[in-house]
Amino acid sequence: MESPSRRDRLRPLELVGLSFVLALFAGLVVLMSTRNIEIAGIGLGIAFIGSLVGLAMLTLATKPNRTELGDLEEQNRHDGPDRGHGS
């Protein structure tokens, strides 16, 4: 069985990184407008969680391409029908 490619392994890290960049931007905007570090930190946290959830939902909404479908079918053939029954 093949191990996942480097791109597949780093995909979650890319999403978290993008969420952090978006949250940092939002935190800086709040900091520049209010000049209050506590409110900026709260805004950064809310923006991070919101963007992380939003990106995760968008990722789940994408359709798998032919290669991914082939990989899923191959995994189903190798795992067999008794997978997930706790035996």
Question: What per-residue confidence (pLDDT) applies to 83?
Answer: 56
Question: What per-residue confidence (pLDDT) applies to 59?
Answer: 87
Which residues are CB-neighbours of 59 under 8 A, at least 6 positions away? Answer: 15
pLDDT in tens, 2-35: 677 777 777 889 999 999 999 999 999 999 999 9
Q: How many domains does the chain have?
A: 1
Residue 49 covered by a domain:
yes
**The total number of residues written for the chain in this structure:** 87
Taking the C-alpha atoms of residue 38 and residue 52, their distance in angstroms, rounded to an integer, is 21
pLDDT in tens, 33-60: 999 999 999 999 999 999 999 999 998 8
Question: What per-residue confidence (pLDDT) applies to 49?
Answer: 98
Residue 36 covered by a domain:
yes
Residue 53 covered by a domain:
yes
Residue 4 covered by a domain:
no
Residue 2 covered by a domain:
no
25 C-beta neighbours (distance < 10 Å), count: 13
What single-letter amino acid sits at 5? S
